[in-house]
Structure 1
Amino acid sequence: MSLPFVIIAIDGGAASGKSSTARALSERFNLLHVDTGSFYRAITAELVRRGIAPENLDALRAALAALALGTRVEGRAARMEIAGRTVDPAEIRSPAVNAAVSHFAAVPDVRAALLAYQRGQAGVARGHGFRGLVMEGRDIGSVIFPDADFRFFLHADPEERARRRALEGQQDSIAERDRLDTQRKTAPLAIPPGATAIDSTHLTLAQVVEKISVLVAVKIPPLPPAAA
């Protein structure tokens, strides 16, 4: 009997543990890992490079309409391609992108431009033979995949998230990102109705992954340790 194709949605604010958790789950269950935050960062880096401001809607819309988006699968991770090239990881974590990404992400045209692309990652996962998809972001369980097999929302105290961000060498303001992400009119950051909320403040990564894995394993078994 063939296993079902599983979609896992993980939402949460900056430094809540989404990325580390999603990567661990992708390895444990052979899922394509999709970090939608990196998509918004890649788009932001491209728009910043072109000198386009988020409030310049005419220029922004023209640029979005002309973007040729693709996906490159590296290991178990999906990376966005823009006109056939992937954006340097250092560029999408630059201070300029850190300062601008939430402003671009709040523009409805930007979110609309990425909606079909993000949903299309399920097809990418199927095409590459993965057993499912684990997608992380801020509106995955509410907008992108509201009918996902599993929907989780990770959160932690602001002080703990700021500490984690500092350990990563990132300087963006957690409080400001939270304010922009929760107050935007289109797809604000919020716990989707029916999602499982996990407070990761006092949990290790292994403990968070185990909490989720126990639920996911009901539908698909984890890979043997040697294959994970």
Structure 2
Amino acid sequence: MGSPPLIIVAIDGGAASGKSSTSRLLAERFNLLHVDTGSFYRHITWELLRRNVPSGERTALLAALPSLNFSTRLEGRSARMLIGGQPAGDEIRSQQVNEHVSHYAAVPEVRAILLDYQRGQTEVAKQHGFRGLVMEGRDIGSVIFPDADFRFFLHADPAERVKRRAAEGRQDSIAERDRLDSSRKTAPLACPPGAIDIDSTFLTLEQVVEKLAGLIAPKLT
């Protein structure tokens, strides 16, 4: 008999909705590859800012995109993007990147160059013996893996999300990022039709994980 098929878990939601923490814990519980696509957009943003290529200068931006050569390095259970063979550091979580990432992410061509790379993480999961992957972002269940085995959308009250960022010692323009991500023409942030919508405002991280895990577990038995 061949190996069982990979399962794909898609988790979408806005900033500080609990996507990353939930995804990491589900990856650990079910032996899944964790893929944080938000970090991909952050890495691209940092690289283009480093090259002085603004998101609003379309000609320069389109000229720069083909030179962004992507590869993947495994770090624990997480897939880490390399650009030109180099990983990003803590700078991708800086205030500067926070302020610009939604603008770059709104460019259709930026999203297009990442499409195959993101879908290709299934091969990374296979090569490293994972049972599947859990991918978090803003268009995973709608665009990247619309036929995922599980599609979840996490959301929380904006004030609660600001508190979560502050507890992490970070600042984030959550309301503005929500506005930009939800209003962009290409792959806007929204709960995909048929996805399971979960309000995490008054739930602990453990409660969110247990809720999702209870739905996923029967698929793996």
TM-score (norm 2): 0.98
Write out per-residue CA displacement over residues 116-172 of structure 1, whole angstroms, 9 at most, x where no aligned residue.
111111111111110000000000000000000000000001110110011112212
Q: 1:69 corresponds to which letter in structure 2? A: F
Match of 2:167 in 1: 167
2 CA distance for matches of 1:36 and 1:91? 16
> Where do 5+ consecutive residues of structure 1 fail to align?
222-228
Match of 2:74 in 1: 73
Deviation, structure 1 residue 188: 0.2
1 CA distance for matches of 2:94 and 2:192? 30
> Where do 5+ consecutive residues of structure 2 fail to align?
none
The 3-state SS of whatever aligns with 1:190 is coil
Match of 1:113 in 2: 113
Judge conservation of contact 1:3–1:220 (CA < 8 Å) in 2: no
TM-score (norm 1): 0.95
Match of 2:45 in 1: 44
Deviation, structure 1 residue 58: 1.3
2 CA distance for matches of 1:55 and 1:17? 30
1 CA distance for matches of 2:83 and 2:19? 24
Match of 2:86 in 1: 85
* Identity among equivalent pairs (%): 71
Judge conservation of contact 1:4–1:220 (CA < 8 Å) in 2: no
Deviation, structure 1 residue 45: 0.4
Judge conservation of contact 1:22–1:134 (CA < 8 Å) in 2: yes
Q: 1:58 corresponds to which letter in structure 2? A: T
2 CA distance for matches of 1:96 and 1:196? 33
Deviation, structure 1 residue 3: 3.5
| 1:23-42 map, 5 Å | 23-42=24-43
1 CA distance for matches of 2:63 and 2:74? 28
Match of 2:128 in 1: 128
1 CA distance for matches of 2:220 and 2:6? 9
The 3-state SS of whatever aligns with 1:217 is helix
Match of 2:12 in 1: 11
Deviation, structure 1 residue 4: 3.1
Match of 1:63 in 2: 64
